[in-house]
Structure 1
Amino acid sequence: MSTALLEGISMGLLLSAMVGPVFFTLIQNSLQNGFRHTAVLASGILVSDLLYVLITYFSVNLFAKSSYFEIVLGYAGGLVLGGFGLSSIFKKNVHRPNSGGIPVLKDRKRKGFWKGFSINGINPFVLLFWISIAGVVAIKDSFDALDIGLYYTGILVTVFSIDLLKAFVSKQLSGFVTPKLMQKLNIGVGIFLVLFGIRLAWFAYEKHQALLGGYY
């Protein structure tokens, strides 16, 4: 299997483990409306992510010819991922009484596809995440067009598949989703995000040093 695809799947697994509005919306919607309705909602989330992928990838490519832009993007992406990680580690779980540990999201009176699209799309952290991913792709000189496609495909397909899995098993999971479990999951995901951020910043540092070495 392609290394790029494996890296994309790994990042998709990490993104899927992040606990946020989409996670709780999937569970809540599945409990209320069933799996089929939630599958449509997950499709809206997928299209929203795909739109962000197109926006961030082509926007970054406009400036990708500049070596210094790649370096700045690498450092910035590392900071963003590290910030996500620290935020996840120190995040406090807030839930309403009598909710079984699951925050009850207010119904936006949107159905299926557009509900998923809007909840994912209005979250600014989703855009920041995809900007950081575009930064990862931009500084990977070993990636050709096929590798880039496989990398993004690995992320998107993995996230979509796990969203469907969350919806399918939500009734079984609902009794186990407690604030304490969420805190442990947030910490675990946060540590991995910090490590990814450090790795991205290190790639940018190495590229910076190589560029400086070319001037001497």
Structure 2
Amino acid sequence: MDISQFKNPYFIGFFMAFMIGPVFFMLLKTSILKGARAAIAFDLGVISGDISFMLIAYYGSRTLLEKIKDDPRLFLVGGLILVIYGLITYLDKSNKKEIDETNVEVPKANNYFKLFINGFFLNFINIGVLAGWLGIMVVIGPSLDMDPNSIFWFFVKVIIGYALTDLAKILLAKQLKKKMTPLVIYRIKRAMGVVLIIFGAFLMLKAFIPLEEIMDNVS
């Protein structure tokens, strides 16, 4: 896996869209039971929750990142956040049981506003998502010199990648639901945890060794 892909905003959006959880099941179930429009309304709420987390991550860390943006220890902090997030994802005991998608309730009426609100809050209460966006902000912000315009457009591209991936999930909901068995989901979540741990470890190493030297040794 090319580590440079993690600085590709569309790849980040794709990756974050596949963080398995209640949002994943709710999106599939809404699409199957209520149709694509209802699922899109729900997904817009989910994306709004992610945008809220991005804003919190940006404004919550902006002052600190501007002060230490040229400090290699910044990579240590960002890498540590991602490693911890990856460990939590990998070691989460609930992964073995997995969320029972039959317990994910979809509103009976096609109330698009209610679906939007449900999507927003179902995503917003997951503090792990905030940790993920904070780790990404710590890594990406300084690489863009903390320029608000560059950061804005970077995360616009992230959201586009996220939204397009979710749209594909909505359109392929029936096929995905059949294939996403508890064992498959368990393996996907653990694999995502491993990816986050590896990437976080690379970032922590970058605090002491130039990334180019690390990649030369790996290759």
> Does residue 64 in structure 1 map to residue 57 in structure 2?
no
Assess if the C-alpha contact under 8 Å between 1:5 and 1:153 holds in 2.
no
Map Cα deviations across residues 151-171 of structure 1 (whole Å, 9 max, x no partner).
Answer: 212221111111122122111
Partner residue, 1:54: 55
* 1:62-211 equivalences in 2 (<5 Å): 62-67=63-68, 73-91=74-92, 92-95=95-98, 102=101, 104-106=103-105, 111-140=114-143, 145-205=148-208
Assess if the C-alpha contact under 8 Å between 2:144 and 2:150 holds in 1.
no
Structure 2 gap segments, 5+ residues each: 211-219
Give the deviation of 1:141 after TM superposition.
Answer: 5.5
Decide whether aligned partners of structure 1 residues 11 and 70 sit closer, same or farther in structure 2, where only a CA change above 3 A counts: farther
Decide whether aligned partners of structure 1 residues 146 and 5 sit closer, same or farther in structure 2, where only a CA change above 3 A counts: farther
Assess if the C-alpha contact under 8 Å between 1:6 and 1:154 holds in 2.
no
| TM-score of the two chains, using structure 1 as the length reference | 0.78
Map Cα deviations across residues 119-149 of structure 1 (whole Å, 9 max, x no partner).
Answer: 1111111111111111012331567555423
Q: Distance in 2 between matches of 1:191 and 1:33?
A: 35
Q: Distance in 2 between matches of 1:119 and 1:15?
A: 15
Give the deviation of 1:117 after TM superposition.
Answer: 0.7
Partner residue, 2:13: 12
Decide whether aligned partners of structure 1 residues 4 and 36 sit closer, same or farther in structure 2, where only a CA change above 3 A counts: same
SS at structure 2 position matched to 1:111: helix
Structure 1 gap segments, 5+ residues each: 208-216
Q: Distance in 1 between matches of 2:12 and 2:199?
A: 9
Q: Distance in 1 between matches of 2:85 and 2:102?
A: 21
| TM-score of the two chains, using structure 2 as the length reference | 0.78
Assess if the C-alpha contact under 8 Å between 1:74 and 1:136 holds in 2.
yes
Q: Distance in 1 between matches of 2:148 and 2:67?
A: 19
